[in-house]
Structure 1
Amino acid sequence: MTIRIGKIGYLNVLPIYHPLETGEIANDFSIVSGPPSALNQLMDAGRLDVSAASSIEYARHPDKYLLLPDIAIGSRGPVQSVLLLSRGPVDSLHGETIVVSAQTHTSAALLRVLLAEWKIRTNFVTGDATAILSRGERPQAILCIGDEALNLRFHPDYPVRTDLGEAWRTLTGMPFIFGVWIARRDSLDRSGQAVRRACDTLIRAKVWGQTNIASMCALAAERSCLSREELRSYFDGLVYDLGEAEKQGMTRFYRHLAEHGIIEDVPSLNFLA
């Protein structure tokens, strides 16, 4: 069975998927690339077997998925690629409208949690920040993720940059996990050996990427507006492991989501054996 693997189409997963796509780590995957929101939908529909996904996707459908152990995308502070860009201080956004990227689910939910904790009430509209700004429009605030956030983070019309990874650490003292890797339970039932082998391969690819992060920065610099030094700072700020502290941060996030009515219940973290 060829395992259908979902890949987030952002720089942050380059260290994991580069060795898979170049054959450094042997595999026979069918890799599908897309933004987190699209991969969430494909996993929910059963069109992928294993995928990187928004951490909130697992919380919404824990009956469908198992988490892969010790692989994730998160931060223990500034993440640099999940930013609320605003024209004024965050507390001045009360009653204003925030443009939220359609590509994100977890980051949008995290922003809702943070604003609720800060007692700031806002409205939200979904939009393409890059396209909106290119038309000359200047909304009061925009939530950007991934490569778009890296490209827009120093936009002169948005001097206030709130890094949601850092904001979460300030609020809780914990790491934040934006993305996880999940396997469909029914795929495991059909082809357990192939799915487990795919999970082992992803873990080996993660280790390869961490070991070769300098060469990943050089490669990323060829296709990015960021320098090698900026990319090294970016990658060094990311968490690719899913240890105990990260699991605690996930559970804390899920508790906040349940408290604010974004999910019904706090799911248990169930892992692929």
Structure 2
Amino acid sequence: MTNIVLLKDNTYLIQISYIGINENTALLRASFEFIAHKTNNSFTYSSPFIKNTKNWKITKIGNNLFHYKNTINKDKINEFCKLTSAFDRKLKSTNKIIDYYCCDNLIELEKLIGVEYKADYNGRRESVWSSSYGNRKLIVFGNNNSNFDVFDPHDLFHDRLSLVIPRSKVNKPVDEGCAYLYGGSWGLSWKEIFKAFKEQIANNKSVDWTDIKENPVTFKTGNYTNPADYIVNALLVKKIEKEKGFSGVWELLNVGPFEKGNEKYYQTLEKLTGITKANYNNNVWELINNEK
């Protein structure tokens, strides 16, 4: 413990540091602060986050609460909430309450939640942190978005899906396929991503998509890397949703985490589409050639 301050009766600010010794030199690994609340002969603890943001402004749209210091981009949050509602309808997600806090960068984000220093984050400028409890989720933007001028539809799908199924249980390639199809990626639309995929990967007619599912390959859009199998899954999601509705996509999302051989994945895919592991490659090529 490096400091303790009485804030008011039975409430204390606690500061602690994780310090090691290397060749007789003290090295600071991390430093945190939190609030201690004394009740009778015991203590409970809380983050200083609420205290540090108590004077922020709040704009509420439906179950979305946007917290910000000065101004908020009203047009952008309305666009965001419209897309949120569309994803929630697909996912049959209701009564989920989300608090969004808009920070300048990771440095501000850390200080707000009580992380004074942590060596793991040295040199990092941006990040987005989140936490869920029951039907409520907290998302803190530390990515130069203090006015909510931008958002990523791709990541928004992941966020909404995580409210109805734990990320550890979802099939990641299918999840990513949905996010690419519905939200593009890295600021590019689905059509732009698919064009890059065709030019860099699907231009080689000897590609075996069954092999690529087991041995991933990637392509570039700007400085970003995209797994080709995610694009294939986007095409399959599009086909399934057209033929079976989103309930079919939901079934494929729930086959469980990626596993070597993908047997559960292929069993469910065959049930939904008739595509088997044996004819997977030919069917994927057909989907690629038919995509406009």
Query: If the length of structure 2 is used for normalisation, what is the TM-score?
Result: 0.21
Structure whose residues are more often helix by fraction: 1
Counting strand residues as a fraction of each chain, which structure ranks higher?
2
Q: Flag the structure with larger Rg.
A: 2
Tell me which of the two structures has the higher relative contact order, counting C-alpha pairs closer than 8 angstroms and 6 or more residues apart. 1
